A = this chain, B = another copy of it.
Amino acid sequence: MTTNNQTIYYTLTDEAPSLATCSLLPIVRTFTAAAGINVKITDISLAGRILANFPDFLTEEQQVKDGLAFLGELTQDPNANIIKLPNISASVPQLTACIAELQGQGYKLPDFPQDPQNDEEKAINERYSKILGSAVNPVLREGNSDRRAPKAVKNFARKFPHSMGKWSMASRTHADYMRGGDFYSKEQSFTMPTEGDVRIEFVDADGKVTLKKKLHLEAGEIMDSMCMSVKALREFLEATMNDAKEDGVLWSLHVKATMMKVSHPIVFGHAVTVYYKEVFEKWGELFDKLGVNPKNGLIDVYDKVETLPRSKREEIHRDILATYEHRPHMAMVDSYKGITNLHVPSDVIVDASMPAMIRNGGKMWGGDGKPADCKAVMPESTYAKIYQEMINFCKTNGAFDPTTMGTVPNVGLMAKKAEEYGSHDKTYELEEAGTMRVVDSKGNVLMSHDVEEGDIWRACQTKDEPVRDWVKLAVTRARQSDTPAIFWLDRNRPHDIELIKKVNCYLQEHDLEGLDIRINTYEEAIRRSMERMLRGRDTISVTGNVLRDYLTDLFPIMELGTSAKMLSIVPMLKGGGMYETGAGGSAPKHVQQVIEENHLRWDSLGEFLALAVSLEDMGIKQDNKRAAVLANCLDAATEKLLDNNKSPSRKVGELDNRGSHFYLGMYWAQEVAAQTEDPELAADLADFAKALTENEEKIIGELSDDQGHPVKEVEFGYYHAKRDVIKDIMRPSKTLNAILADANS
């Protein structure tokens, strides 16, 4: 496919981000037009994706282009420049609601057949299923990951630091992890010399072979297998509980049940059945009959016993409560509601919960609602060590200081489902003792683990091309930012040993003169990064996919108080760039406030940041010098916006998203008008800057006038609102609209 090289593809998504887009884009286009750049909207909203997948049910006028498919193709274009806003990863209730809304608007879409009864329904179910869940990222993330704290955000945190809990040198808090028998200590790895098939097989005690899965590996592809001994795991869990009890610290479990979505829920389940050992021993048979699944947490016990007669149910409840008498106190997710760490597996996700605890002076909340030191238990040791390092570091040096600390950006290996990212379809909980092995087409056993019943075995793949690109990205970032880079690779770990070979090989493809690029173990790497950070120095972390995920929460939460303000770039394998913005987690609540109060508190900071790097990239790749000037000015404007506290307020009547956009536009225009690098551009936008500046008070007044009054949902829509209705709501300032029209005339 061919694209106009001077085009930025801006995604239209859902909820608050899509509302914000309506207000922001007209402002943005005034600038980009001056640089000859076209900003094109591509609809990848849930509603848009539904409509695109059912043209045969729609009138010709109702049919829409498939935006996601278009962008999917675009990722293969070296000129691709995509700004990706948060979208809905639809759950079934969201899907159903969206269909209903569209049907109400006259789209004759079929219902979603949750339990399809015939071939026709099955076909429809299948079409809808492609839209469910995380359907967008796998299509668009055709590259590795470049995440960093933008300068403006970092400067803001330095000037207006977030709160940090105090660390005591005598804190008892620590991270504990298995010292043997876990995935880390049982890893095996190999690199395919030439492309070929491999089989994952199970061999039982009698030598009977069962094929688990067949895979085709590319030449140079790394494959790993790891195994967790359930016996070692349960012994470890029991020991940690005894230690926590003896030491008088809270016991808490931190796993990654979402990303490691098969293996870690199993680990979580063992924690539940070890902690509540007596309960599960006494009621085991009944629980089996009721279908209690400890992988879903203690909550599953409470749910399933609901059907029992009251006396039995209460006996079980009493037995659960009795457990707390002899087990260590547990860290609570919600001490007021009595929700412990073991209630729901997704409640304590290590990459979020550990930074929160460290930021909080090493304390979690006990059942008494008070903060207390804790034993953070992370059975899989692979990456757990970095948290213990940071805990030791904070005990020694005190809490990090956001006003002086350096930054740790990340270059993450992510492309083509590298590493553990895609391992869940190759994860097995063994039903009997035997041997798990990986065999090539000639019958050579490439990897082999003796396993016991209940052991967890998993494999993952890393293709060569993403690694080569990742090394290149690391060198590029080190060069561009003049910052030392560390490859976080453990020379004692089989998978990393294979990766280190590739890294050393591909590093030679680059000019390394004057760069400081090292390969360090995770412990060495985090230590060096923290020591530099303490002195205000920056260090790029170059990591695999899981550490990417961990570190882009861990460091930002220390540095910025949140990971939502990070710049997230996916430089695509084929040369294009995707710029991700913000985090969508709270978007539905934001829409609710617009409907009730006509106040949009969505912060478009992520869009500002993404747009700046998108323009910067345009400047470099398309040699568009004006784009480069615009990028610099936008960054300066963003910093001014932060400094002057012109981000949206949470409260109605104060500045909201629309007003924030105005200020961004005004500051940006002022910066462009004031810069001297491109005097023509400055002249082009001088009137625009002047008009915005002179009408600040008037525009802000107009933008605020309607606030406080409810927006009628009926005319608003939720998943598929009419664009002109939204336009009325999101662009209420006649003065601003006139200035924009004038500037673009």
* Known contacts A388-B396, A396-B392, A523-B531: A375-B172 contact under CB 8 Å: no
* A725 adjacent to chain B (CB < 8 Å): no
* A468 adjacent to chain B (CB < 8 Å): no
* A249 adjacent to chain B (CB < 8 Å): yes
Shortest CB distance A117–B (Å): 56
B168 and A243 within 8 A (CB)? yes
Contact of A169 among B243, B396, B492, B524 (CB under 8 A): B243
Shortest CB distance A358–B (Å): 15
Closest to A176 in B: B169
A170 and B375 within 8 A (CB)? yes
Taken together as a complex, chains A and B put the C-alpha atoms of A531 and B521 apart, in Å, by: 11
Q: Which residues of B contact A535 (CB under 8 A)?
A: 492
Closest to A523 in B: B531
Closest to A168 in B: B247
* A395 adjacent to chain B (CB < 8 Å): yes
Q: Which residues of B contact A169 (CB under 8 A)?
A: 174, 176, 243, 247, 375
B243 and A373 within 8 A (CB)? no
* A731 adjacent to chain B (CB < 8 Å): no
Q: Which residues of B contact A492 (CB under 8 A)?
A: 535
- What is the 8 Å Cβ interface bit string for chain A, positions 521-539, against chain B (1 contact, 0 not)? 0011001100100010000
Taken together as a complex, chains A and B put the C-alpha atoms of A528 and B523 apart, in Å, by: 10
Contact of A172 among B172, B243, B392, B528 (CB under 8 A): B172
Give residues 225-265 of A contacting B (CB, 8 Å): 243-244, 247-249
* Known contacts A523-B531, A527-B527, A531-B523: A170-B247 contact under CB 8 Å: yes
B170 and A373 within 8 A (CB)? yes
A170 and B396 within 8 A (CB)? no
Closest to A528 in B: B524
- What is the 8 Å Cβ interface bit string for chain A, positions 546-588, against chain B (1 contact, 0 not)? 0000000000000000000000000000000000000000000
Closest to A171 in B: B172
Closest to A393 in B: B392
Shortest CB distance A709–B (Å): 54
Closest to A169 in B: B174
Q: Which residues of B contact A531 (CB under 8 A)?
A: 523
Taken together as a complex, chains A and B put the C-alpha atoms of A373 and B168 apart, in Å, by: 14
Taken together as a complex, chains A and B put the C-alpha atoms of A523 and B247 apart, in Å, by: 28
- What is the 8 Å Cβ interface bit string for chain A, positions 382-398, against chain B (1 contact, 0 not)? 00000010001001100
Q: Which residues of B contact A247 (CB under 8 A)?
A: 168-170
B395 and A174 within 8 A (CB)? yes
Shortest CB distance A516–B (Å): 13
Q: Which residues of B contact A528 (CB under 8 A)?
A: 524
Q: Which residues of B contact A396 (CB under 8 A)?
A: 174, 388, 392
Closest to A492 in B: B535
Taken together as a complex, chains A and B put the C-alpha atoms of A170 and B396 apart, in Å, by: 15
Taken together as a complex, chains A and B put the C-alpha atoms of A248 and B528 apart, in Å, by: 32
Taken together as a complex, chains A and B put the C-alpha atoms of A247 and B524 apart, in Å, by: 30
Give residues 154-179 of A contacting B (CB, 8 Å): 168-174, 176
Closest to A244 in B: B170
Taken together as a complex, chains A and B put the C-alpha atoms of A173 and B174 apart, in Å, by: 13
* Known contacts A523-B531, A527-B527: A170-B392 contact under CB 8 Å: no
Shortest CB distance A193–B (Å): 30
B395 and A170 within 8 A (CB)? no
Taken together as a complex, chains A and B put the C-alpha atoms of A152 and B173 apart, in Å, by: 40
Taken together as a complex, chains A and B put the C-alpha atoms of A392 and B524 apart, in Å, by: 14
Taken together as a complex, chains A and B put the C-alpha atoms of A247 and B395 apart, in Å, by: 13
* Known contacts A388-B396, A396-B388: A170-B172 contact under CB 8 Å: yes
Taken together as a complex, chains A and B put the C-alpha atoms of A527 and B524 apart, in Å, by: 9
Taken together as a complex, chains A and B put the C-alpha atoms of A94 and B23 apart, in Å, by: 93
Shortest CB distance A168–B (Å): 6
Give residues 381-419 of A contacting B (CB, 8 Å): 388, 392, 395-396
Q: Which residues of B contact A373 (CB under 8 A)?
A: 170
Taken together as a complex, chains A and B put the C-alpha atoms of A169 and B362 apart, in Å, by: 14
Q: Which residues of B contact A176 (CB under 8 A)?
A: 169
Q: Which residues of B contact A172 (CB under 8 A)?
A: 170-172
What 5 A-B pairs are tightest by C-beta distance, nearest first?
A170-B247, A392-B392, A170-B172, A169-B174, A388-B396
Ordered by A's residue number, 9 sampled pairs between the chains whose C-beta atoms are within 8 Å are A169-B247, A170-B172, A170-B248, A170-B373, A171-B172, A172-B172, A174-B396, A392-B392, A524-B527
